[in-house]
């Protein structure tokens, strides 16, 4: 895809993002969720696809953001929007701090050990929140009511998440063009070599994970309000839904690419919305099947598949976009 066509596509998506909540007002909640999922897949891919550090536990940052936001709303007594903004910022800050602290310990591990450590972190967080009275323990927390009818609330969240997704995409597109982006790819391809070249691999990995954590903190911060309840294992540290979906969507679209996570999240969300309701309780069984199916038969994802199918176009892009 040429640079020009990428820009056109981005413009088209931006127009859709602005128009859709009014074009199909009944689906505002689903539209908001779509953008949130796009963010999750994009942020997962920063370490997972681009750096080769596959995390099973990024849900940790999402959940921390959700709890922090609702606690701030509960305890500060500000008006709705101010409290939400402050809460999201707090959540993002805590999530980023956690990423720095935990990352400096576990990002030294290679590959699958990192994956398992993050899996442990995500679940441990849910278990701790589920026992901690300050956070409402097992029954969770209730965010304040949105000061307008549900339709307006959904409109608000659809635009909020659209803005966040667009910003994230633009920021990542710029980031992947820098030498920092190249250094992340270098770590993915051959970390020992990157170190032998004098690159500060540890610092870069922590930075990458922190960026993901920050954005996920914001995303989680608004999600508690959108869903209307914060549950330790079902919404906040929801490893079995959002937690796995992030990984799955990025892989489905094509991990390690700019557009893959966006595409994967869109395909996943639409499929889910169309089919899920017909499955009546078997959704999660289907999810397990989908994961196994994609991982076994389609690990390169849609964009990876397209690349092998039409290799010429890919090469054109490499040269045409002028990326070094």
Partner 1 sequence: MSAQLAIRGASKRFGGVTANDDISMEVPQGRIVGLIGPNGSGKSTLFNSIVGYHPVDGGSIRFEEREITRMRTAEIARLGLIRTFQQTHVFVQMSCMQNMAIGDAEAGRGLLRLMRPVSAETRERAETLLAFCGLYGKRHLMAGELSFGQRKLLELAMALMLRPRMLLLDEPTAGINPTLIKGVIERLQRANREFGVTLFVIEHNMRVIMTLAEHIHCLAHGRLLASGSPDEVRRDARVLDAYLGAR
Partner 2 sequence: MAANVQLLADAPFLILQLLLDGLMIGAIFAVAAYGMALVWGVMNVINVVQGELVMLGGFITYQLTLWGVSPLWGVPVAALVLFFIGFGLHHAVIRRVADRDMFISLLATFGLSILLQQLMNQIWGGDVRTAESGLGTWFLLDYTVTVSQMKAAACGGAIAIGCALILFLKKSRIGQAIRATAQNPRAARILGIDTNRVFAATYGINAALCGAAGALVVMAYSVHPYIGLPYTVRSFMIVIVAGLGNLPGVIAAGLGLGAAENFAGFILGVQYQVAFVFCLLVVILVIRSSLLQRQRRFLR
Note whether 310 binds partner 1 by CB under 8 A: no
Note whether 300 binds partner 1 by CB under 8 A: no
Q: Please tell me the number of Cα atoms within 13 Å of 126 on its side-chain side.
A: 21
Q: Determine the 3-state secondary structure of 141 from DSSP.
A: strand
Q: What distance in Å separates the CA atoms of residue 139 and residue 229, rounded to the nearest whole number? A: 10
Output DSSP code: residue 50. Answer: I
Output the smallest distance, CB 276 to partner 2, in A. 14
Residue closer to partner 1 by CB (options 181, 224) is 181
Chain positions 22 to 81 lying near partner 2, rule: CB under 8 A, are: 54, 56
Torsion sign, CA atoms 208, 190, 121, 283: positive
Binding mask 201-240 for partner 2 (x = CB under 8 A): ---------------------------------------x
Residue closer to partner 1 by CB (options 117, 183) is 183
Q: What distance in Å separates the CA atoms of residue 79 and residue 285, rounded to the nearest whole number? A: 42
Note whether 111 binds partner 2 by CB under 8 A: yes
The owner of tokens 């820009």 is 7
Note whether 130 binds partner 2 by CB under 8 A: yes
Adjacent-strand bridge partners of 230: 141
Note whether 281 binds partner 2 by CB under 8 A: yes
Note whether 278 binds partner 2 by CB under 8 A: no
307 binds, among partner 1, partner 2, none (CB under 5 to 8 A by kind): none
Using CA atoms, how far residue 171 sits from 42, 54, 220, in Å, is: 11, 21, 19
185 binds, among partner 1, partner 2, none (CB under 5 to 8 A by kind): partner 1
Note whether 287 binds partner 2 by CB under 8 A: yes
Region near partner 2 per CB under 8 A, out of 63-71, 121-129, 211-219, 265-273: 121-129
Output DSSP code: residue 148. Answer: S
Q: Name which position in 29, 30, 86, 177 contacts partner 1 (CB under 8 A).
A: 177
Chain positions 194 to 253 lying near partner 1, rule: CB under 8 A, are: 194-201, 203-204, 207
Output the smallest distance, CB 128 to partner 2, in A. 5
Note whether 192 binds partner 1 by CB under 8 A: yes
Note whether 109 binds partner 1 by CB under 8 A: no
Note whether 112 binds partner 2 by CB under 8 A: yes
Q: What distance in Å separates the CA atoms of residue 215 and residue 87, rounded to the nearest whole number? A: 13
Q: Which residues contact 83 (CB under 8 A, 6 or more apart)?
A: 72, 73, 76, 77, 144
Note whether 148 binds partner 2 by CB under 8 A: no
User: With b meaning 16 or more CB within 10 Å and e meaning fewer, what string describes 226-254?
Assistant: bbeebbbbebbbbbeebbbbbbbbbbbbb
Note whether 171 binds partner 1 by CB under 8 A: no
**Taking CA 177 as the corner, what is the angle to CA 174 and CA 179, rounded to the nearest 5 degrees?**
120
Q: Which residues contact 82 (CB under 8 A, 6 or more apart)?
A: none
Of 191, 315, 175, 307, the residue nearest 254 (C-alpha): 307
Summarize as ranges the residues that interact with partner 2 (CB under 8 A).
54, 56, 105-106, 108-109, 111-113, 115-117, 119-121, 123-124, 127-128, 130-131, 137-138, 192-193, 196, 240, 244, 247, 251, 281-282, 284-285, 287-292, 295-297, 299
Summarize as ranges the residues that interact with partner 1 (CB under 8 A).
174-175, 177-180, 182-183, 185-186, 188-190, 192-201, 203-204, 207, 256, 315, 318-319, 323-324
């Amino acid at each position: 895809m040429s640079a020009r066509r990428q820009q056109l596509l981005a413009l088209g998506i931006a127009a859709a993002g602005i128009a859709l909540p009014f074009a199909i007002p009944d689906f505002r909640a689903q539209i908001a969720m779509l953008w949130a999922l796009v963010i999750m897949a994009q942020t997962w891919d920063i370490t997972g696809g681009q750096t080769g550090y596959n995390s099973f536990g990024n849900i940790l940052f999402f959940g921390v953001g959700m709890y922090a936001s609702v606690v701030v709303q509960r305890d500060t007594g500000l008006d709705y929007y101010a409290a939400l903004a402050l809460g999201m910022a707090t959540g993002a800050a805590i999530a980023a701090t956690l990423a720095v602290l935990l990352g400096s310990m576990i990002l030294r591990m290679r590959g699958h050990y990192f994956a398992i450590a993050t899996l442990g972190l995500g679940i441990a967080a849910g278990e701790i929140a589920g026992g901690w009275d300050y956070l409402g323990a097992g029954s969770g927390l209730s965010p304040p009511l949105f000061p307008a009818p549900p339709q307006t609330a959904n409109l608000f969240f659809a635009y909020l998440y659209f803005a966040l997704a667009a910003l994230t995409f633009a920021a990542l597109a710029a980031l992947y063009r820098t030498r920092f982006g190249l250094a992340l790819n270098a770590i993915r391809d051959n970390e020992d070599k990157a170190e032998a070249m004098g690159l500060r691999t540890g610092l870069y990995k922590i930075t990458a994970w922190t960026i993901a954590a920050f954005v996920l903190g914001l995303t989680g911060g608004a999600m508690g309000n959108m869903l209307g309840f914060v549950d330790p294992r079902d919404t906040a540290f929801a490893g079995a839904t959002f937690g796995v979906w992030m990984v799955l969507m990025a892989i489905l679209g094509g991990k390690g690419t700019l557009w893959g996570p966006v595409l994967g999240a869109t395909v996943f969300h639409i499929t889910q919305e169309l089919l899920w309701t017909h499955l009546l309780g078997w959704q999660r069984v289907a999810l397990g099947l989908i994961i196994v199916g994609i991982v076994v038969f389609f690990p390169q994802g849609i964009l990876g598949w397209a690349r092998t199918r039409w290799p010429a176009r890919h090469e054109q892009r490499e040269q045409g976009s002028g990326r070094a």
